[in-house]
Amino acid sequence: MRRLLKGLPVRLITLDRFPGIPPVREDGSTFRANAVKKAMQTSRRVPLPVLAEDSGLEVRALKGRPGVHSARFAGPNQNDKANVAKLLRGMARVPASRRQSRFVCVMAVAVNGKLVRTFRGICHGAIGFKPAGRGGFGYDPVFIPSGFRKTTAQLGGREKDALSHRGQAARALTGWLRKVF
What is each CA distance from 24 to 34, 42, 98, in whole angstroms?
Answer: 9, 8, 35
Torsion of CA 68, 168, 132, 83, to 10 degrees: -10
Annotated catalytic residue within 27, 54, 140, 161: 54
56/34 Cα distance (integer angstroms): 11
140 is catalytic: no
32/93 Cα distance (integer angstroms): 31
Taken in order 137, 139, 140, 141, the sign of the CA dihedral is positive
- Rg (C-alpha) for the chain, rounded Å, is 17
71/77 Cα distance (integer angstroms): 10
**Do the Cβ atoms of 128 and 119 come closer than 8 Å?**
no
172/70 Cα distance (integer angstroms): 23
Q: Which residues are catalytic?
A: 54
